[in-house]
Amino acid sequence: MSLRAALAEGRFVVTAEIGPPRGANAEAIRRAARALRGWVDAANVTDNQGAMVRLASWAGSLITLQEGVEPVMQLVCRDRNRMALQSDLLGAAALGIPNVLLLTGDHPRFGDHPEARGVFDLDSIQLVWLARTMRDEGRLLSGLQLKPPPQWLIGAVENPFAPPARFRAERLGKKVAAGAEFVQTQFVFDVATFATWMKNVRDLGLEKRCAILAGVGPIRSVRALERMSDIPGIVIPQEVRRRLRGVPSDRFLDESIKICAEIIMEIREIPGVAGVHVMAFGLEEAVGEIVERAGLGKRPQAVAP
C-alpha cells in the first residue's frame, strides 16, 4: 500500500528516515531499509542532511525502493538552482520515486564544507509551488510544456516550536497553499505545545488539506540529549530530561524508546494528526519496537498484481 493510498484511506500512517552513508556504500541503505520494511508506510532518504556531503538522495531512494520500502526523496534548495531542481524532480518521477519532500536546506556554514556557496535560488515554499505546477499544470517554470508531466506526492516540513509561535500555523498555511499534501514536523517532545499548534492548524482548516505527520524519535544517549537541547526549535520538557537522566546508562535507550512510544500514543489523541514521522538515525532497527509499543502494529503491504 502506498503512502498516498494510506493517507487517502485516513489510516494513521508511519514514516521514518534513512540517512545515506558518507561513502559509495549501497549496503548501508539496504540494511536500514530492511529494518524498516513492514513497519513504515514510507521512508525519507535525506539530502545532504545538516549540510554534510552524503550519497545522493535519489540514489538512496532507488536502493530503498529495491528493498521493498516506498521512498520519500528529499530535495533541498541549498545545492541547486531552479534548473537543477526541476531536472532532479523529473528524474525522480521517471525512475518511479513516488514521493518528494521539499526543503530549503541548512546553510553550508553549518556543515563539512563551510566555504561552499549556498545556491538558494528558490526557497521551500517556492519549490513546493514549482513542483505542483510541474505536476498539475504540466509545465516548467519557463512555461514550456512537460510531456508527460511528473507524478509524485508533494511533502514539506514545519517546526511548531520555532519562534514566533503564533505565526507557525500561518506559515504552514503558505506551504499548503503552494501545494504541500503532507508535512512532517520537527521532533515533538512537548506534546502540550504541539497540541496548541494543532488547534491553530485546525482553526485554519489546514488539516483537511494537508496530512500532518508529527516528528518523533528516541534520543540515543546523554550526550545526544545535551546536543539536541541546544538546537533551536527543539523543546525537550524537564520531565523528559528527568526521566532520561534518572536511569543507568545501559537503560537509557530503552527508556528513550518507551518515552517515544508514549508520545506517539498521546499524539494519536490529538484531532487532525494523520500520522507520525519516526526519526531514529542509525537506530532503524528500533523503529519496529517503537511502532509496536505504541500500539500501531505492522503496515498493510501492497498486493502484487
Q: How far apart are CA 132 and CA 29, in angstroms?
A: 29
Which pLDDT does position 244 carry in this prediction? 96
Average pLDDT of span 254-263:
98
Q: 29 near 282, Cβ under 8 Å?
A: no
Which pLDDT does position 233 carry in this prediction? 86
> What rounded mean pLDDT belongs to the chain?
95
Q: How far apart are CA 62 and CA 57, in angstroms?
A: 9
Q: What is the DSSP string of 194-215?
A: HHHHHHHHHHTTGGGTSEEEEE
What residue spans define the domains of the chain?
A: 3-293
Q: How far apart are CA 128 and CA 209, in angstroms?
A: 15
- What is the Cα gyration radius of the chain? 19
Architecture of domain 3-293: Alpha-Beta Barrel (3.20)
* Count of CB atoms situated within 10 Å of the CB of 218: 25
Which runs of E-coded beta strand occur in 180-262? Answer: 182-187, 211-216
pLDDT band at residue 165 using 50, 70 and 90 as cut-offs: confident
Which pLDDT does position 1 carry in this prediction? 64
Q: Locate cell 532497527: which residue?
A: 285
Residue 120 falls in which region: left (phi positive, over 0), alpha (psi -120 to 50) or beta: left
pLDDT band at residue 179 using 50, 70 and 90 as cut-offs: very high
Which pLDDT does position 304 carry in this prediction? 39
* More reliable by pLDDT, 214 or 230: 214
pLDDT for 112-143, tens place per residue? 999 999 999 999 999 999 999 999 999 999 99
Which pLDDT does position 305 carry in this prediction? 33
pLDDT for 47-106, tens place per residue? 999 999 999 999 999 999 999 999 999 999 999 999 999 999 999 999 999 999 999 999
Q: How many Cα atoms occupy the beta-carbon half-sphere of 64 within 13 Å?
A: 34
Q: 292 near 301, Cβ under 8 Å?
A: no
The share of the chain scoring above pLDDT 90, in percent, equals 93
Helical (H) or strand (E) element with 45 = strand 42-45
From 174, 217, 226, 165, select the one nearest 194 (Cα to Cα).
Answer: 165
**pLDDT of 303 above 50:** no
Q: 211 near 274, Cβ under 8 Å?
A: yes
* Count of CB atoms situated within 10 Å of the CB of 130: 20
Which pLDDT does position 231 carry in this prediction? 86
Q: Locate cell 538515525: which residue?
A: 281
Average pLDDT of span 215-239:
93
From 125, 141, 155, select the one nearest 86 (Cα to Cα).
Answer: 141
**pLDDT of 245 above 50:** yes
* Count of CB atoms situated within 10 Å of the CB of 191: 20
Q: Mapping DSSP to helix (H, G, I), strand (E, B) and coil, where does residue 149 land?
A: coil
Which pLDDT does position 300 carry in this prediction? 80
Q: 228 near 187, Cβ under 8 Å?
A: yes
Which pLDDT does position 38 carry in this prediction? 96
Which pLDDT does position 169 carry in this prediction? 96
Average pLDDT of span 32-37:
97
Distances (CA, A) of 105 to 22, 120, 157: 18, 9, 11
